[in-house]
Amino acid sequence: MFAVYAESFSTDDPLSGLVVGERPDPEVPDGWTTVTVKASALNHHDLWSLRGVGLKEEALPMILGCDAAGIDEDGNEVVVHAVISDPSWRGDETFDPRRSLLSERYQGTFADTVAVPRVNVVPKPASLSFEEAACLPTAWLTAYRMLFGQGDLKAGDTVLVQGAGGGVATALISLARAGGLRVFATSRDETKRAKALGLGAHDVFESGARLPVKVDAVMETVGRATWSHSIRSLRPGGRIVISGTTSGPKLDDAELTRIFFLQLSVIGSTMGTRDELASLVTLLDASGTRPLIDRTLSMEKARDGFAAMAEGDVFGKVVFTR
């Protein structure tokens, strides 16, 4: 079948290991089903995989992609939950120490079909297009759990979103606004700051700029480049929810003194559960909130999407269609 896969790793030139070609049809274990992929979305995770982060050499070649919306074996329109937990695991799948994401241990979604456990499909409402639904399983689910799960934010709270242009960041801005929060966002780029305002941010700032008020919570995915500013932007008792370190995990200053003196909380967040994905789908169906799609490419043109993400030249999600 047609597939977009990683053949080798390179830290400096991740696209050198990317192949747009053919791979065998997926194996379908007992209790699993296949989904015919209609649309999938690109995540920074796919670039990390090509750099050899989170993916083992012996797993190559590996079909990339965590996100998919498509049609299951019974003809139903579905969204795929990308967190694959051990069959014996009960409860929050993101806490299963043996969990993996599609494209880490099991073949990913940039292909004609993807095999997943039956419990990993969620009904797609007719109101969402396949392209919109494909944005939800990773970036949007992560943003949803950061804000309303791990972040426990409520209408009226003030939140800062760092690095406005990213897939998770644009989801954070849209969902925070839909949830009645006051939303600040930063970006290095003036055009992206203007777009963030259009997306629903109440106010935007250059990366590192002093905010007019301290915020209740910061949503952090950038890491090293923004960490200090994130900590300095919090009110006493505020919290930082972190799900990524795009600019690197090693900090110049962890701001430990501020963390204890201001009694700040640092909270990790990773993906979300199948139930959270179902709730997110319902929220979008009911509210009319929709993922911002930067560009839609046919899957044959996947390399162009990877290149744009590697350059930081995206605002919203890059979607691939079959």
Ligand X SMILES: NC(=O)c1ccc[n+]([C@@H]2O[C@H](COP(=O)([O-])OP(=O)(O)OC[C@H]3O[C@@H](n4cnc5c(N)ncnc54)[C@H](OP(=O)(O)O)[C@@H]3O)[C@@H](O)[C@H]2O)c1
Closest approach, Cβ 268 to ligand X, in A, equals: 8
Using the minimum distance from each CB to ligand X, give the nearer residue, 16 or 191.
Answer: 191
Cis peptide before 61 (omega within 30 of 0): yes
Using the minimum distance from each CB to ligand X, give the nearer residue, 125 or 268.
Answer: 268
Spatial CB neighbours of 66, under 8 Å, sequence gap ≥ 6? 43, 45, 46, 82, 101, 102, 103, 108, 109, 137, 138
Closest approach, Cβ 81 to ligand X, in A, equals: 13
Closest approach, Cβ 79 to ligand X, in A, equals: 16
Using the minimum distance from each CB to ligand X, give the nearer residue, 25 or 313.
Answer: 313
Using the minimum distance from each CB to ligand X, give the nearer residue, 34 or 303.
Answer: 303
Closest approach, Cβ 28 to ligand X, in A, equals: 26
Using the minimum distance from each CB to ligand X, give the nearer residue, 270 or 321.
Answer: 270
Closest approach, Cβ 310 to ligand X, in A, equals: 8
Name the site residues for ligand X (rule: CB under 6 A).
43-45, 48, 138-139, 142, 163-169, 187-189, 192, 207, 221-222, 225-226, 243-247, 270-271, 309, 312, 314
Q: Which residue, 209, 239, 204, is CA-closest to 315?
A: 204
Closest approach, Cβ 277 to ligand X, in A, equals: 12
> Which amino acid would we find at residue 218?
V
Measured distance between the N- and C-terminal CA atoms of the chain, rounded to whole angstroms: 12
Using the minimum distance from each CB to ligand X, give the nearer residue, 174 or 221.
Answer: 221
Alpha-carbon gap, residue 317 to 293, rounded angstroms: 5
Phi-psi region of 287 (alpha: psi -120 to 50; beta: other; left: phi over 0): alpha
The DSSP-derived string for 164-177 is TTSHHHHHHHHHHH
Alpha-carbon gap, residue 249 to 244, rounded angstroms: 8
